[in-house]
Every structure is written in structure tokens, then in C-alpha cells.
Amino acid sequence: MSNRILLVEDDVALGQQVVQTLSQAGFDPHWVQDGDAARDLDPDDYRVIVLDLMLPGTYGMDLLKRYRVKSEVPVLILSARDDTADKIRGLKLGADDYVTKPFFPEELIARIQACLRRPNLVGTERLVVGAIQVDLERREVSNAAGSLSLTPVEFEILALLARRKGSAVTREALVDAALDPAQDGSRRTLDVHISRLRNKLGKDAIQLETVWGIGYRLSGGA
């Protein structure tokens, strides 16, 4: 699928910056400067739409309504007004998220990536996180070195981290998901299991990160 992103933003300086940011992040931005010009574009031609609200011509909310009639493409609102009513209205009309101005370019990219990530979270039986592959149905784990022999607890820990790939998962959540509270289901026990899991992952253990104050994260997924 293409990386085309529609940017509807009337401010020239901000528009240029955003176009540059999107391009640097590997996206293919199509910049439109007024609402009327954006009216007749097909939203399904884009992976994400970044929409300013205060536009000349057709108002941003009206564009959002129009797009939502025929498309489910993720829409990210750029809001200059710190007004709850605007944000809530946008979200109720079907926007996926919003970014309040002023924002750092990295924040915008992070929110766009979050929009793109969301639909892929559910209904997957085989998870691939970097070099690590987790088959949830067969309860098998493998990496470049081959199949790994994990205990049930280690598998549950790795499966939960793989389902939430790239996101930090708390120790409490891992304990609840993988350990039996009646049999020493403590955080210290979890750390022992994690240590063993890292040993089994070998050189891919670097993907299993400790997240300060939270727990662990399995990184390296696209």
C-alpha cells in the first residue's frame, strides 16, 4: 500500500514544515491548502488524512463528515484551538485522533504511526516481531536460529509482549497473564522468567527491553 498522506492545511509555513517532516519520515504527502480543493478528493487514495479545521472554503469538520460518508481512512485533526468541544465533535464525527498546535514534528509522526498501527492489532494468529516469530495457535516460537523451546510461562510472557509489540507492558500485567498467583506469582519470579527467556532468545534478546518504572517491551517490529 502506498504511503500517500493527504495534508489539508492553509498556513503556508506550517504546511511546508509538515510536508518536509512527512517526506523525511518516508511518507508521500499531498498538500492541499483550502477546504474547497479538498472536497472532491477521494479519501481512499490516502493512508492517512491530516486535517486542519480552520480552513478557507469548506470547514474542516464538514470535510471530515464528507470523507466519513464513504471512507474509513484514518483522519488526524490538527487543532489550533484548545477547545474541548471542537475535539470531541471531531472525534464523534469519526476522526481517529488529534494533535494540538504547536507540536513537534516527531509528535505528528508518532500520532500518524499510531493511527496506522491500530487496525493491525487484532485477529492475528502469527506474530512477527523483528526476528522473533510467535505462532499463537501452535504455541511455537522461532527465530533465525530455529525453533525455541519455551516453558508455558515463558511463552505466555512472550506472546503478550508480541501482541503489544513496541508497547511497554507492566510487570503486573505480565504477572497476571503468565503466572499463577497461588504459586509464587510475584514480580521477582517474573524477572527470573524474563532472564531465562532472554537466554533462550540469544542474540535477539536485545529486542526484549526493560522499561524503567513499567516492565518490559518487545521492540523491533515494523
Partner 1 sequence: MKLRARLALTLGLATISLLVLLGWAQSRWQSKMRVDALAEAAVHRMESGGRERCEANPERWPGERGARRLRRPPGPPRQALPRHRVFAYDAKFVSANPDSPAFPSELARQLRAGSEVATDRSPDQRRTEVAVRMPWTEGPCSVLLMRSKGPPSWFSGAVLMPAFLVALVVILVALFAAGPIVRRVRQLTDSVRGLGSDSEEPIHVEGNDEIAELGAAFEQSRQTIQAQLASLREREAALRNYIANTTHDVMLPLSVLQGHLVSLQQRIEAGDALDANSMVPSLEESQYLGSLLHNLNAAARLEANDGLSHRDPIDLNRLAERVVDRHQPIAKRKQIGLDVAVPQAAIEFPGDLTLLEQALGNIVQNAIRYNRANGHVAVILEGSVDRWALRVVDDGPGISHADRERVVEPSFRGSEARTRHPHGMGLGLHIASDVANRHGLRLELRDTEGGGLTVELIHAG
59 to 88: interface string for partner 1, x by CB under 8 A: -----------------------xxxx-xx
Candidate ranges 4-12, 125-133, 199-207, 214-222; the one touching partner 1 (CB under 8 A): 214-222
Query: At closest approach, how far in Å is the CB of 121 from partner 1?
Result: 9
Instruction: Please enumerate in sequence order all residues whose Cβ is within 8 A of that of 120, keeping only pairs 6 or more positions apart, or say none.
Output: none
Q: What is the 3-state secondary structure (H, E, C) of 172-190?
A: HHHHHHHCCCCCCCCHHHH
Pick from 163, 190, 201, 208 the residue near partner 1 by CB under 8 A.
Answer: 163
When asked if residue 156 is in the footprint of partner 1 (CB under 8 A), the reply is no
Distance separating alpha carbons of residues 80 and 111, to the nearest angstrom:
16
Asked if 167 is part of the footprint of partner 1 (rule: CB under 8 A), the reply reads yes
Cell 472525534, located at residue: 91
Instruction: With residue 64 as reference, give the H or E element that holds it.
Output: helix 60-70
Between 99 and 118, how does the x/- string for binding to partner 1 read (CB under 8 A)? -x-xxxxxx--xx--x----
Residue 123 lies near partner 1 (rule: CB under 8 A): no
State yes or no: residue 206 binds partner 1 (CB under 8 A). no
Q: Nearest approach, Cβ of 207 to partner 1 (angstroms)?
A: 15
Pattern 13-42, partner 1, x by CB under 8 A: ------------------------------
User: Helix, strand or coil for residue 79?
Assistant: strand
* In the complex, least distance from residue 23 CB atom to partner 1, rounded to whole angstroms: 18
Contact 49, 75 (CB under 8 A): yes
Sheet holding 97-100, edge to edge: 28-32, 4-8, 48-52, 75-79, 97-100
